[in-house]
Amino acid sequence: MSLEQFKNRNVGVQHYRMLDLSHTPQTGWGQFKQVVRRTLSLELFVGLKVTLREMTKALFFGKMHTTKYPFEKLPVGPRYRAIHEMKRLLESGHYRCIGCGLCEKICPADAIRIETAYGEDQRKQVQEYTINFGRCIFCGYCAEVCPELAIVHGGRYETASEQRASFSLFDDMLTPIDRLKEQKEFPGYGSVSPDADKRIHKTPLAY
């Protein structure tokens, strides 16, 4: 669609069409007649028709549309960006985070802090990891930059808290080890694209 018709400000030659509305009564008698006509023709119930139908369904057929929050919650879309989750490796159960610090660097709200150290297993060990949800803007950059699909967004969207700064620690976000089987991949930004198999080239090995 071109923008031509919006740029043309010459109102006179445009094809305006007047709506076919009845005339507003000008006299007192005319106004009285309009009130009587509208009152007796039961136009009100035409407007209430849908409401009454739904009320009947709710009252007599048990088909209720209201969600009783917080006792009931609607599911959110899988790509919704809510409170973060830290994933584990499915085979070993070890946390996926390698402590590279890219999420800390990319975070535009400066909400993430990470502390790492040389671990006994010669790996980079995450000693502590925090996200300040008082600052987090849920932009999803951390999940997108994460090379290990370790930090992702989850579906927990209730972020209200008593204090302005509300921290989440590593263990709070990490998948509990006993619920590893239920761990699901995040399909949002930063996840493996559906055609990843086609785009990945295998590195040749000499063994």
Partner 1 sequence: MSIREPNKTITVTIDGQECRGEWGQTILQVARANDIYIPTMCYLSKVEPIASCRMCVVEVEGVEGMILSCQEKAVDGAVITTNSDDLYRERQNITRLYDVNHPLECGVCDKSGECDLQSKTVEFGVDQQTFAARDQHRPVQDWGFISYDPSLCILCEKCVRVCNEVVGDEALQISVGGYKSTIINTKLDQQCAECGECMAVCPVGALVSTDFKYTANAWEMEKIPASCAHCSSGCQLYYEVKHTSIDNPDPRIYRVTNEHEFSSLCGAGRFAFDYANEGVQQDARAFDQAVTALRQADTIRFSGVITNEEALLLERLREALAVRLVCDDAYGYQRFLAAYRSISGSTLYEASLKTVADSQAVVVFGTRIYDDNPMVKYHMAMASKHHKARIVYLHPMEDARIQNLVTQYIKYEAGSEEGVAALLAATLLAGKTVSDPLAGVLDNLDIGNLSAESNVGEEELDTLKRSLWKKEGFTLIVGADLYNHPEAENIARFIAAIERYSDFKVLIVPPATNARGVAEICTLSEAVEGYTVGYNAPGDFVLSALGDGDLDMPALNQQEGTLTTVDQRVVPTHPALPYEGYTLNQLANALGVGSRYTIDQTPHLPRDKGYKAIAFDDLPDYFDALGGEHRGYLLSPGEVETRDVFSEIEELPAYDGLVVYRCNEGSAFGPFDARSVHRKHEAVLKGSEQFAVAARLKGGERIRFELDGESYERVFRIDTTLKGTVAIHPVWDRGLSAFALSSYRFSQLKFETTGNE
Strand 84-86 and strand 151-153: the pairing is antiparallel
Tell how far CA 106 is from the center of its chain.
21
Q: What's the CA gap between 173 and 168, in Å, rounded?
A: 7
Pick one of 80, 82, 109, 113: the residue that binds partner 1 (CB under 8 A): 113
**Which tokens in the block code for residue 138?**
């849920």
Give the bridge partners for 35, in sequence order.
none
205 sits near partner 1 (criterion: CB under 8 A): yes
Total residues at interface with partner 1 (CB under 8 A):
27
Length of the chain in terms of residues written: 207
Pick one of 54, 128, 171, 185: the residue that binds partner 1 (CB under 8 A): 128
Choice between 78 and 119, CB closer to partner 1: 119
196 sits near partner 1 (criterion: CB under 8 A): no
Strand order in the sheet with 167-169: 112-118, 124-132, 167-169
- Select the span of 71-79, 97-105, 136-144, 184-192 touching partner 1 (CB under 8 A): 97-105
Interface residues with partner 1 (CB under 8 A)?
98-102, 104-105, 113, 115-119, 122-125, 128, 130, 147-148, 201, 203-207
